[in-house]
Amino acid sequence: MEKTVRREKTKIKDKSMSLFGTPAPATFTLGVPSSKLSDKASQNTTDGLIPSTSVSSTENAEKKENPVLRFPAVLPDSPRMESPWRKVQWTDEQRTALMDRISSYRPSCEEVTRAQVLLLGPVGSGKSSFISSVQSVFNGRVVNRAMVGCSTPSTSFTKKLQSFSIRGQKGEGLAGLALYDIMGLGDGDMTGLTLHDILAVIKGHAPDGHKFSSAHPLSSDIVGYVKRPSLKDKIHCVAFVVDASKILTYPKGLSAIFQQLREHISDLGVHQVALLTHIDKICPQTAKDVCQVYKSKVIRDMINKAGALLGMSTSYIVPVKNYSSELDLDVNTDLLLLSAVDHILQYSDLYFLDNAEQTQLKL
């Protein structure tokens, strides 16, 4: 049986060109190409589907023509590796050490007081949830300061640019890090996020709180527009955020979108990393015990697929589990989140080092 998925056409706008500043058709056809279902249950485990078994020869003949797929009550265990493919110290001491390192972080450049990181990804990928989860770790309880939600599957809940400073543990002062939340890369005209807007944010032109609109691209006419941004106004690192449970069903055109975006951002000298979210949705063992994340073959394979999607080496990509329905913190979930923040700060510092070298060459 072939299963056909309805494709939806979407438009991605920029001023007079496609989202990526290159001549392109006005619409992209999105969806999942129809594919033949295998008779082997092992090939359906990625989607959590198993073929029903026959109870008679007559039913068996019918099912060969019209196989029925049922969702199992419990997802089958995913393959595990004997040795972790990345080393992590799953201890309270490591959690404390990471919190101390992040709390005391200060940019190596004296001109700025904080590293500014822009989270960029599709609608519903977990950008706002990641910010709230990191804040939860330092607050000592689960909080949701960054508004989390999704208006529709194709439109972003977040409508404006908003920065969230990370406050040190136990009421200490602000850490030298700010995470910027922005509209998701959606599927419809109402998304309002264009290549022009994204680059304007990274260059430091966009004021905090700017509300994006497809009808009104960011320009010097808006209130608060920064005409001559300094280093402290700019974005110092971009973290792409992708949903592990949706990578196999993302539109084909999304890979080209990401890779063209990365080229434009790289031209600005800004380093990029990536976060793979919702890992608990693709690996039952990790959902039960986060410590299993780096022994999961499924998650390792999905990171490879994320690398292909983004056009970046897997060494830039880290898996995370955001807090969603939980009311209490978990040490191991905290460790994964803190490791991701530490990863981001390493590449933020590279930006400042690069900038310092360029400044010295000009002298």
Domain limits, the chain: 2-70, 92-362
Nearest to 279 by CA among 325, 244, 329, 314: 244
| Per-residue confidence (pLDDT) for residue 3, from 0 to 100 | 45
The type of residue at 41 is A
Measured distance CA(284)–CA(278) in Å, rounded: 11
| Per-residue confidence (pLDDT) for residue 189, from 0 to 100 | 47
The answer to whether the CB of 168 falls within 8 A of the CB of 149 is: no
Q: Tell me yes or no: is domain 92-362 CATH 3.40.50.300.
A: yes
Distances (CA, A) of 234 to 21, 229, 268, 348: 21, 7, 10, 12
Written as six digits, the tokens of 208 are 């905090």
Which residues are bridge partners to 70 per DSSP? 50
The dihedral formed by the CA atoms of 103, 279, 260 and 269, expressed in degrees to the nearest 10: 20
| Per-residue confidence (pLDDT) for residue 74, from 0 to 100 | 42
The answer to whether the CB of 15 falls within 8 A of the CB of 194 is: yes
- pTM score, two decimals? 0.77
Distances (CA, A) of 270 to 117, 126, 225, 238, 299: 10, 22, 21, 7, 27
**pLDDT tens digits for the chain (363 residues)?**
444 444 444 444 444 344 544 443 333 333 334 343 344 434 444 333 333 334 444 444 444 444 444 434 345 566 788 899 999 999 999 999 999 999 999 998 889 999 999 999 999 999 999 999 999 999 999 988 655 554 455 455 567 899 999 887 766 778 899 999 998 886 544 455 888 999 999 999 999 999 988 778 888 998 899 999 999 999 999 999 999 999 999 998 899 999 999 999 999 999 999 999 999 999 999 999 999 999 999 999 999 999 999 999 999 999 999 998 899 999 999 999 999 999 999 999 999 999 887 766 665
